[in-house]
A and B are shown apart, each in its own frame.
Chain A
Amino acid sequence: MGFFAGLKKKLRFLYRLFLRKDKLKIGIYGPPNAGKTTLANRILRDWVGEIIGTPSEIPHETRRVKLREGVKIQVDGKSITIDVVDTPGIAAKVDFHDFLKYGLSEEEAKRRAKEATEGVIEAIKWLDDLDGILLVMDATEDPYTQVNVTIVGNIEARKLPLIIVANKIDLPTASPARIKAAFPQHQVVPVSALKGINIDALYKAMAEKFG
């Protein structure tokens, strides 16, 4: 990274520190199938009574960044207004054969794979325009994946406020403790976005971290 890129990042950090915006852009990131859209839907349903997308068991269901502006969250007398940015899952490989087992035709699977690659690029580019990140990890999976490590590294390099959302705690094999052990330097909030379990703790953490 060049001198000017580093300087730009430092200036952006100072701008965020001293010139707080009325509205914050909060990106929802994570690997495919971690529950990003389910979480975005939960936040929007709770605060504005709508949803942003339809989750699916087929990976890379979200292939374009989706934005919902002006979501006001109020917790314990504190309120923040955020733009929710739901991003496609980040991956280093996209193989159309993986979609065939979900019953997609070869043509559909190839189209989905192509759109998924474009979505990954878009998600990475959005990192430069955000004020905070909710990084969603599937608490039933090993959190120590390269995608998670790379995303956390990029968030740290940009000095963005980060909350790790340990999702799917309604499932019996979920282990938020494993996520906490893998990323001890960051705040981890265990939730079930699907069932709404512990979601108030996440709103409280968001108001404290991003507000």
Chain B
Amino acid sequence: MVMEVNLISKEKLSKMGSMEKIRMILDSVKEGKIVVLETGLTPEEEAKLIEVTMLEIDHQNFVGIELESYPQKEKSFLSRILGKRQGRMTIIGPANKLKTLEKREDLIRALIT
């Protein structure tokens, strides 16, 4: 079995809008690919990703996503002032192909089948 894994850099993600990221993720995942984001998504983007995923579940070929990310670090003073939040490394894949084995604050173990 061959699985494609797309690792998306921080630089590429920083140039993308929220919906652009979500569309790119879902298009890849629906094609059976695993997506790894270097900087991940904000909590709001994760919620939006779940919302859009729910809209696109067809109960046959696509039943949803497996999404795992590290929790956000404490915000710096500057980011507190600017109100900016940045996600951390995140892995997303089709729910029927990616299974999380263990998740800790600094470790994510996953199985790709």
Q: Which residues of A contact B (CB under 8 A)?
A: 1, 6, 10, 90-97, 110, 113-114, 117-118, 120-121, 124-125, 127, 142, 144-146, 149-150, 152-154, 156-157
Contacts and interface: CB of A to CB of B under 8 A. Distances in A.
A91 B103 contact: no
In this complex, the interface size class of chain B, counting residues with CB under 8 Å from chain A, is 20 to 34
Contact of B55 (A93, A121, A146): A121
Contact of A92 (B64, B71, B85): B64
B38 interface: no
B60 to A, nearest CB: 9
Contact of A121 (B46, B54, B83, B103): B54
Chain A interface mostly: helix
B76 to A, nearest CB: 15
A93 B59 contact: no
B28 interface: no
Contacts of B95: 92-93, 95
Contacts of B55: 117, 121
4 smallest CB-CB distances across A and B, nearest first, come from A93-B64, A153-B43, A93-B95, A95-B63
Contact of B43 (A6, A121, A150): A150
Contacts of A150: 43, 46-47, 50, 67
A114 B53 contact: no
Given A10-B83, A92-B65, A1 B104 contact: no
A113 B54 contact: no
A95 B94 CA distance: 12
Contact of B47 (A94, A144, A154): A154
B7 interface: no
B100 to A, nearest CB: 8
A149 B18 CA distance: 19
B78 to A, nearest CB: 15
Given A93-B65, A114-B59, A144-B103, A156 B43 contact: yes
Contacts of B103: 142, 144-146
20 contacts: A1-B44, A6-B83, A91-B50, A92-B53, A93-B53, A93-B57, A95-B95, A96-B63, A120-B50, A120-B54, A121-B54, A121-B55, A127-B47, A144-B103, A149-B69, A150-B43, A150-B46, A150-B47, A153-B71, A153-B72
